[in-house]
Amino acid sequence: MPTKHHELIPALEEAVEAARSKKAQEIVILNLKEATNFTDYFLICSGASTRQAQTISEEIERRLGLSGLRPAHVEGYNHAEWILMDYVDFVVHIFTEQARSFYGLERLWRTAPRMPVSAEL
């Protein structure tokens, strides 16, 4: 079921738009509100290369930073197979295609409602 604009927090919407602007692939949001207490959403996407994954990460950080929002923690940027950006209410996971398949984050959280992002968020 496509995500409706009003269901997401504005910063998460902006992160999706930033990822889209850098041609992120397979953008998915997992709603974790009922599954865990450490965050509300996972934003998961893929880049075709480590450089593209870094570019997606940089754009998300730049755009959210314009409104004063900074990640509480970032991991994996240098290696860039899996970049994690913790914004507390949501966590961004940017994978290379191979790493996304290997780690299977969506499989690990398969009970969380999957919210595919519509084309016109």
Q: Give me the tens of pLDDT residue by residue for the chain, a chain 121 residues long.
A: 344 434 568 999 999 999 999 999 999 999 999 888 899 999 999 999 999 999 999 999 999 999 999 999 999 999 999 999 999 999 999 999 999 999 999 999 999 998 867 655 4
φ and ψ at residue 82, rounded to 5 degrees? -145, 110
Q: Read off the pTM.
A: 0.89
Residue with tokens 């953008």: 27
Q: Which helix H or strand E contains 103, and what residues bound it?
A: helix 97-103
Predicted local distance difference test score (pLDDT) of residue 119: 57
Predicted local distance difference test score (pLDDT) of residue 116: 65
Protein fold of 5-116 = Beta Polymerase; domain 2 (3.30.460)
Q: What does DSSP assign to residue 6?
A: G
